Structure 1
Amino acid sequence: MKIAKSLFLVAVMLPLASINAHETGTISGKIISPTNKPLDRVSVALVGTQTGSYTNEKGLYSISDVKTGEYILEATAIGFKTFRKTIIVEANKTTIVDITLYETPLELNEIVVKGAGLKKRNRTETVSTINLLSLKELSLSNPFEILNQVPGVEIGAYNQGGVADVFIMRGFNGGGHSGEAAIEIDGVSLNEGESHSDGYADVNSIIPLNISKVDVYKGPSSALFGRFGMAGTLAFETRKGGEYQDLSLKGGSYETFDAQVALGNPIEIGEKTLETNFAAQLFRTNGFTENSKFFKGNLNARVGYQLTDATDIALTLMGYSGNWNGPGYIPTEQFNDKHRRFDQAINAENDGGSKVFASERFDINHTFNDNLRLLVFGYAVQQDFQRFAKFGFNPGGQTEYFATRNVYATGANLNGQNAIGATEVNWISGIEYFNENTDYERWNTSNRVRNGLSENRLYKLNSFAVFGQAEFDISPYFRPTIGLRYDVYNGNMEILDPGVTYENKPLNDLSHISPKFGFRSTLIEGFDFRVNISNGFSLPSGSYRYNKDTDLDPSEIWQYEAGLEYNHSDKLSLNLTGFILNSTKEINETAPGSGVFINAGKTQRSGLEFGIKAQPVKRLNFNGSLTYFKTEITKNQDQSIVGKELSNVPKTITTASVDYTFNSGFGARLNVRDVGKWASGIENFFYYGGYTRTDAKLFYNFAKTSPYKGQLFIEINNMFDEHYSTFAYDNGGPADGQAYSVAAPRNISIGVSYNF
């Protein structure tokens, strides 16, 4: 009924207006490969102008409001020959230019990030890619909102200001907060070893408007990524090069305001070009609950220069500062009381925190010949992180965590494209070194006033990794991929706790080898089958890994997955994936950031992910997904929890999105998301029933049928004012009940994005 009401509302509100034509024309078309596959993220530009666009996942592009005249149209993409054609744009007409791009398998000189030389059409693992054009359509304030576009992923928002949220993927419930997913931006790891919780990763430092794409890897399927990648990896990439001036302004309920700018400007220096990119963000909100103000500012800059025809260098800088208040988690009685559900928790104190983050990365890239390119990098991270938090509903008990963290990392990747007889081989090999030093203090506090130091620790963690992955394009029916990764760790923990004799505890000798194997087969044109078997790991949690007597090995996981993909032109694409993940020696945190862990022993996660994209008629798009999870503790010393479900993993996640754009540029989008019930604790005492949420967006595209030029929009979030929680956990057993992170009620925002 809610879906029907939503569709009716959109139909009523859609304007049927048209605008007067100008003395301009439009260029549009589709770009495909020789095998008729649509190519996404292809840059399409008019040579000598600042006008251009990118193809979407269906290979379509559109450039509107082009002044009449003669132009050279250029299409470029990594791994393909550049296409150029002279065209004439006439007033009030659309010039159709369909393009076929031919691969140049030995051209690597444009690779600037790890893994870019591997080909999308040969992927055996499950990877969802969201590109620049899709990101512009979403008008994001938080990068995590991207995950709503990925089948089988649910964001468990804590709604605690600048505290990193969690996301559920492949049956793991701790991605982003408890270290079950790897997150990196341009190769800089955001996962923190000891600062807040093992693997904590804060994406607040990423500016959404500056993201060129994000690859979401499911499970430990790629040799490119190691620790923290049990559930998968989010690999963000920022814009590099190009000429653009993008602005986004957004404001709405709870005095929320978000301003973002992204600039790209090539500067000619003699016969060379200095590529410059800059982005900034300011965000503030009073929040929809008591004591939930949040303010943050971001800066991102990159400078790239080609020293010679074979060598280029780049410097990338990122900076973030944020401070916030946190309302805490509320008990069941308060959650069910409509007059108190947006108040702070019982006996809550002035929770919140602050963070300052900076990173610097330097790259040197050298092309030896047409089939060999070397990427050498080094980066550093500096941050201070402070959080005041309280768990439970009794008086007192607030704690302050304060950590100063410094990271130094370096490495090199060698990318190659060769041939063994008639078989094309794309490969990458690499080495990485990582050094992390954390000065960690924990204080007993009351309303942010320190009452006494309880912990003072110095952590040093070093890691070294060697990896390699290769794709063999033997035939359309058999394209195997093999990968191998070796990680080794060492370090120590210095204990300087008050009243405790100084101790220096070395890290256990920890290492792990992770093999990967898979193959892909094109059974008929547009219909692919793929299989992937991969191994991953995580280190023992907390101080356990610094105890030689425990002799703990890394927790190990094996993933088995098989999938079918079908693509029919730009009208229909389907994908179905089945997976099983078996893990050993798994440790689960009872509540986010509590520091209390439970040994879950051996576990199994299995499920199905189904996704569909369809365009039944021009400019009408439908996207949907359905995911089913089954989780189980299969072996544990505590027999009472064997056979229990893993906590905070919904049984089902269902999404549906439909949008339509009129010729006039007006349009609407409707999104419906249904999340099934989940167990809120490892003993399965309680379940939370899930929720259904509906969002709507009305918009006007300045470039008529494409948001590339810019967009005016109104967003109505939680349109039917659903009362629900995005995160609920067992607060200690049957007597203590559940704790909830209440979600936002109905709210509205308006905004504009524009490409000057």
Structure 2
Amino acid sequence: MLSSSVAVAAPAEQATLAEIAVAGDAGAAAAAADSGYVGGTLGIGGPLRTVDAASAGIVTGAQLNARPVTRPGEVLEAVPGLIVTQHSGEGKANQFFLRGFNLDHGTDIAIDVDGMPVNMRTHAHGQGYADLNFLIPELIGALEFHKGPYFARDGDFASAGSVRIGYLDTVEKNLAQLSLGSFGYKRALGIASAPLGEGHLLVAGEAQVYDGPWDVPDRLGKLNGVIRYSQGTQTDGFSLTGMAYWAKWSATNQIPERAVAQGLIGRYGTLNPTDGGDTGRFSLSGRWSQTDETGVTKASAYVIRYQMNLFNDFTYFLNNPIDGDQFHQLDQRVLGGGEVAHIFQGDVLGRPAELEVGVQTRTDRIRVGLFNTANRGFLSGVLDDRVLESSAAFYLDTRVKWTDWLRTSIGLRADGYYADVRSDTPANSGKARDGIVNPKLGLVLGPWADTELYVNYGGGFHSNDARGVTATVDPTSPLFNVVRAPLVVPSTGYEFGIRNRSIAGLETSLAWFQLDFASENLFAGDTGTTEPSRPTRRLGVEWTNRYAVTSSLTLEGDLTITNARFTDPDPVGRRVPEAPHVIGSAGITYGEPLGWFASLRFRYFGARPLIEDDSVRSKPTALLNGRAGYTFESGMSLALDILNLTNAKADQITYAYVSRLPGEPAGGVFDRVFHPVEPTAVRLTLASKF
């Protein structure tokens, strides 16, 4: 039984991390590097929240913004073993790979920005679609990551991992920044904060245009804004935040290798110049927290209005030899939800303990449509559905420090789902309910000789598209029945890890993991969506290293090796398509508060099976990005980024499926299709802090 006989202690370690994140200067970055990625939790938690895993940690905003990146979502590659790429126009959600998963646009990685979920369930393009293009990296205070389904606060889409990003409440100095670069890249950014009443007002705005190297320019246009009023601290205070984001673009989607080999198009060409889309995201959110004699109470709420129009053509003339196979995916929704939790701080049998109890809820009211088009002009409707989807979750997590060398975390999470689908195909309308209860266990032994051992176990899940749960007929042809999918699909994960800090400044960790899924969500090239598939198992090893050589020089190196297999027998094979076997990265970062700074980042994305029998594979991709710059005493800084330093002729993504070019057989041709890495590009950034 948890008693309250121990006085409440301020979460000192966590407060230090928050201060590091807010400071954002070179000295703070060095302190964060020296402390490594371990400890604490983003936002509010108790001192015992450090009971995590060998594969969990925090990255500060200063560390994130020291990395040269091509697009905003790539800052998530600071999470060891995570690949963030793109297979379409710049306004579309990124593609994610982690621990042997092709996560498509977010099927099994839960992403949260400033207390709001980014993943969209029952989405027009793919389950768990997570569009991070509204992210402003310079506003990030800290990023918290977990891998595996071991953590009670993480629910839907979090089986492979979760990422929580927190924005700053204030900045020490205002920022004005202008970037110019290759292929029509232009970006302007402003961030300012000032005292207002008893708190602070922060305002940020961003505008960007970009064409890319493509024969048909992306013509990306993006506007982005954030306004926040805050008072107090993370443990005693509140904030109100409004965000607005809008973008439109053209897209060069993946192309068949044979089209390039035959000279029909070039490496940066397209077979449908009218692909592309537009999207908008508008949100209002708030958080509140208070500390009392029992512990910390926190509450947050949000409402988001989101829309997307996406035009894709992946198979060209396979289904419609006259007008082509372009289709329009429409998603319009309003979603809202929140979380309330209390962290009781006290003791169990005289030992320091915490009990965290929380409730989460979310409701999406969705219009989701699919239409056949030609040059973005309407041809025919496939479906136009309305979906109401709601969920509620209860979780608890008990953390106890039994001795100086033994800590435990025992948790439980219960999730319930309800969906009401009203389809324009009446046979596919219906209601569905589902739920799942998952245990969460963690054990930390040590430290002995600056070494800790970790054992983690937990159940997780992802939700499926609600339309696939209620459907009884294929909307393209009512003659064919379809197999209904479950609304909730369970997963089970195990992990054993070790972390060592015996060398000053060096933190190294090694983790062995296993993750079993009752059903895999796989990308379907002919429809451009994710579809339920067979059960899978992943076994892997992850090695992570961070070395603060000095206060201004940091080295990093990560390696993940994963074996991914279907667990049921099937003549087609056991390999999981698109599952990466090897992912690696390395980096060096140098910087002083004034004077020169530099960063060099290497990223290796290993070859992958493209079909179940492993007879068709992708090529590996190795990329090198660099940055060098100088900070003047006046507050001005100048930075030069060189992306794809070696001008590698590699692929961002590769698939294998049937498509048809003009003149080919009616049944089409099975081929590898790819989206190339952009050639070497330079970007010059002038920034002023005042």
Measured against the shorter chain, the TM-score band is: 0.7 to 0.9
After superposition, the Cα gap between the structure-2 partners of 1:426 and 1:57, relative to the gap in structure 1 and judged at 3 Å, is: farther
The equivalent residue for 2:50 is 121
1:669 and 1:551 mapped to 2: Cα distance?
47
The equivalent residue for 1:24 is none
Give the gaps of 5 or more residues in structure 1: 1-32, 62-77, 80-110
Q: 2:127 aligns with which of 187, 198, 204?
A: 198
1:236 and 1:51 mapped to 2: Cα distance?
15
The equivalent residue for 1:103 is none
Q: 2:383 aligns with which of 455, 478, 496?
A: 455
Q: Would the aligned equivalents of 1:41 and 1:132 in 2 still touch at CA under 8 Å?
A: no
Matched letter for residue 436 of structure 1: D
1:53 and 1:659 mapped to 2: Cα distance?
11
2:526 and 2:59 mapped to 1: Cα distance?
28
2:186 and 2:165 mapped to 1: Cα distance?
24
> What are the Cα deviations for residues 647-676 of structure 1, in whole angstroms up to 9, with x where unaligned?
212221222222445897224332222222
The equivalent residue for 1:314 is 239
The yes-or-no answer on 1:281 pairing with 2:206 is yes
Q: Would the aligned equivalents of 2:141 and 2:167 in 1 still touch at CA under 8 Å?
A: yes
Give the gaps of 5 or more residues in structure 2: 1-9, 473-482, 660-667
Identity %: 19
Q: Secondary structure of 1:344's match?
A: coil
Structure exhibiting the larger radius of gyration computed from Cα positions? 1
The 5-angstrom pairing of residues 737-752 of structure 1 reads: 737-752=671-686
The equivalent residue for 1:403 is 331
After superposition, the Cα gap between the structure-2 partners of 1:475 and 1:415, relative to the gap in structure 1 and judged at 3 Å, is: same
How far residue 170 of structure 1 moved from its aligned partner, in angstroms, is: 1.7
The yes-or-no answer on 1:478 pairing with 2:455 is no
The yes-or-no answer on 1:591 pairing with 2:525 is yes
How far residue 586 of structure 1 moved from its aligned partner, in angstroms, is: 2.6
1:288 and 1:140 mapped to 2: Cα distance?
16
The equivalent residue for 1:718 is 644
1:563 and 1:338 mapped to 2: Cα distance?
51
After superposition, the Cα gap between the structure-2 partners of 1:564 and 1:751, relative to the gap in structure 1 and judged at 3 Å, is: same
1:477 and 1:571 mapped to 2: Cα distance?
22
2:484 and 2:371 mapped to 1: Cα distance?
28
The equivalent residue for 1:375 is 298
The yes-or-no answer on 1:610 pairing with 2:543 is yes
Q: Secondary structure of 2:158's match?
A: coil
Q: Which has the higher contact order (CA 8 A, sep 6+)?
A: 2
Q: Would the aligned equivalents of 1:41 and 1:55 in 2 still touch at CA under 8 Å?
A: no
After superposition, the Cα gap between the structure-2 partners of 1:128 and 1:293, relative to the gap in structure 1 and judged at 3 Å, is: farther
> What are the Cα deviations for residues 691-750 of structure 1, in whole angstroms up to 9, with x where unaligned?
22222222213369xxxx663211111112110111000123994111101110111111
Matched letter for residue 348 of structure 2: I
Q: 1:533 aligns with which of 450, 457, 463?
A: 457
How far residue 173 of structure 1 moved from its aligned partner, in angstroms, is: 0.8
The equivalent residue for 1:131 is 60
Q: 2:489 aligns with which of 555, 568, 592?
A: 555
After superposition, the Cα gap between the structure-2 partners of 1:266 and 1:489, relative to the gap in structure 1 and judged at 3 Å, is: same
1:662 and 1:412 mapped to 2: Cα distance?
41
1:147 and 1:328 mapped to 2: Cα distance?
23
Matched letter for residue 438 of structure 2: S
Give the RMSD, CA atoms, in angstroms: 3.3
The 5-angstrom pairing of residues 519-668 of structure 1 reads: 519-541=443-465, 543-547=467-471, 550=484, 552=486, 554-568=488-502, 570-591=504-525, 594-595=528-529, 597=531, 599-600=533-534, 602-616=535-549, 619-636=552-569, 639-642=570-573, 644-661=574-591, 665-668=595-598
Q: Secondary structure of 1:744's match?
A: coil
How far residue 487 of structure 1 moved from its aligned partner, in angstroms, is: 0.4
Matched letter for residue 689 of structure 1: K
1:582 and 1:215 mapped to 2: Cα distance?
24
1:535 and 1:723 mapped to 2: Cα distance?
41
2:568 and 2:392 mapped to 1: Cα distance?
32
> What are the Cα deviations for residues 239-276 of structure 1, in whole angstroms up to 9, with x where unaligned?
12454312332221001012222222222x3xxx1222
2:255 and 2:656 mapped to 1: Cα distance?
12
Q: Secondary structure of 2:183's match?
A: coil
The yes-or-no answer on 1:444 pairing with 2:372 is yes
The equivalent residue for 1:418 is 346
Which TM-score applies when normalising by structure 2? 0.87
The equivalent residue for 2:477 is none
Q: Secondary structure of 1:650's match?
A: coil
After superposition, the Cα gap between the structure-2 partners of 1:297 and 1:663, relative to the gap in structure 1 and judged at 3 Å, is: closer
> What are the Cα deviations for residues 328-372 of structure 1, in whole angstroms up to 9, with x where unaligned?
2111134558994444333x24000001111111334333x2342
Q: 2:163 aligns with which of 234, 238, 243?
A: 234
How far residue 485 of structure 1 moved from its aligned partner, in angstroms, is: 0.7
The equivalent residue for 2:435 is 511
After superposition, the Cα gap between the structure-2 partners of 1:703 and 1:317, relative to the gap in structure 1 and judged at 3 Å, is: same
| Number of residues of Structure 1 aligned to a counterpart in Structure 2 | 652
1:351 and 1:754 mapped to 2: Cα distance?
38
After superposition, the Cα gap between the structure-2 partners of 1:481 and 1:338, relative to the gap in structure 1 and judged at 3 Å, is: farther
How far residue 626 of structure 1 moved from its aligned partner, in angstroms, is: 1.3
Q: 1:329 aligns with which of 254, 261, 269?
A: 254
How far residue 128 of structure 1 moved from its aligned partner, in angstroms, is: 3.5
Q: Would the aligned equivalents of 2:51 and 2:442 in 1 still touch at CA under 8 Å?
A: no
The yes-or-no answer on 1:386 pairing with 2:313 is no
After superposition, the Cα gap between the structure-2 partners of 1:415 and 1:246, relative to the gap in structure 1 and judged at 3 Å, is: farther
After superposition, the Cα gap between the structure-2 partners of 1:244 and 1:569, relative to the gap in structure 1 and judged at 3 Å, is: farther
2:56 and 2:526 mapped to 1: Cα distance?
27
Q: Would the aligned equivalents of 1:244 and 1:265 in 2 still touch at CA under 8 Å?
A: no
